[in-house]
């Protein structure tokens, strides 16, 4: 088990298109464990494999509140089979620390995926779980929350993140 590094925008690894997982092997199960550990350590509501530089179609989500028992959900090769309605949710992303913006999504989704044992399942979700599923699914195609913002917000967030990345690399070079 290991907490892995989460890459931040504009790291090009976040733009990789993730590949389908051929088989749920012990190596994949180890990666899922690392992803869960990394998500809980952050802490975050979800994490996509692309965020830790593993371009595979896997994400984990746990939307349980602080006063609820944790409920880890693992999605391997997820497909969103239907979407319904619209909602606007204030989203955050571990690859955009400190950024919170309202993003428009479908209100309800039906998703099909393999679980951590490689067994297929289907799930209908609404509210935060539906938002998280769409957010994580986007990561697997290299799509980020900044891509869903209006032009003005996009420019502000892009500049803020690039300035921060430049400060960090400058600090480590000195």
Residues involved in catalysis: 136
Is 139 a residue that touches ligand GNR (CB under 6 A)?
yes
Q: Which is nearer to ligand GNR, 47 or 111 (CB)?
A: 47
Residues 80-109: x where in contact with ligand GNR by CB under 6 A, - otherwise, as a string: ---------x-xxxxx--------------
Q: Please, what is the minimum distance in Å from the beta carbon of residue 64 to ligand GNR?
A: 13
CA atoms of 86 and 67, how far apart (whole Å): 28
166, 117 in Cβ contact below 8 A?
no
Is 54 a residue that touches ligand GNR (CB under 6 A)?
no
Q: Please, what is the minimum distance in Å from the beta carbon of residue 168 to ligand GNR?
A: 19
CA atoms of 80 and 130, how far apart (whole Å): 10
Coil vs helix vs strand at 63? coil
Q: How far is CA 7 from CA 13, 60, 93, in A?
A: 8, 16, 11
Is 93 a residue that touches Ni ion (CB under 5 A)?
yes
Q: Which of 62, 136, 148, 149 binds ligand GNR (CB under 6 A)?
A: 136
Instruction: Give me the sign of the Cα torsion angle 37, 141, 9, 109.
Output: negative
Shortest Cβ contact with ligand GNR: which residue? 44
């Amino acid at each position: 088990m290991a907490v892995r590094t989460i890459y931040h925008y504009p790291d090009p690894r976040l733009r990789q298109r993730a590949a389908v997982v051929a088989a749920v092997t012990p190596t994949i199960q180890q990666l899922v464990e690392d992803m869960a550990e990394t998500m809980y350590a952050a802490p975050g509501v979800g994490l996509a494999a692309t965020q830790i530089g593993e371009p595979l179609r896997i994400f984990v989500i746990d939307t349980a509140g602080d006063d609820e028992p944790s409920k880890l959900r693992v999605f391997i090769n997820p497909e969103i089979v239907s979407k319904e309605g619209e909602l606007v949710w204030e989203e955050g992303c571990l690859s955009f620390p400190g950024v919170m913006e309202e993003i428009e999504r479908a209100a309800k989704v039906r998703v099909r995926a393999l679980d951590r044992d490689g067994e297929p399942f289907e799930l209908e979700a609404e509210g935060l779980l539906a938002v998280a599923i769409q957010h994580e699914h986007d990561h697997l195609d290299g799509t980020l929350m900044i891509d869903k913002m209006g032009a003005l917000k996009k420019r502000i967030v892009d500049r803020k993140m690039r300035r921060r990345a430049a400060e960090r690399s400058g600090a480590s070079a000195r």
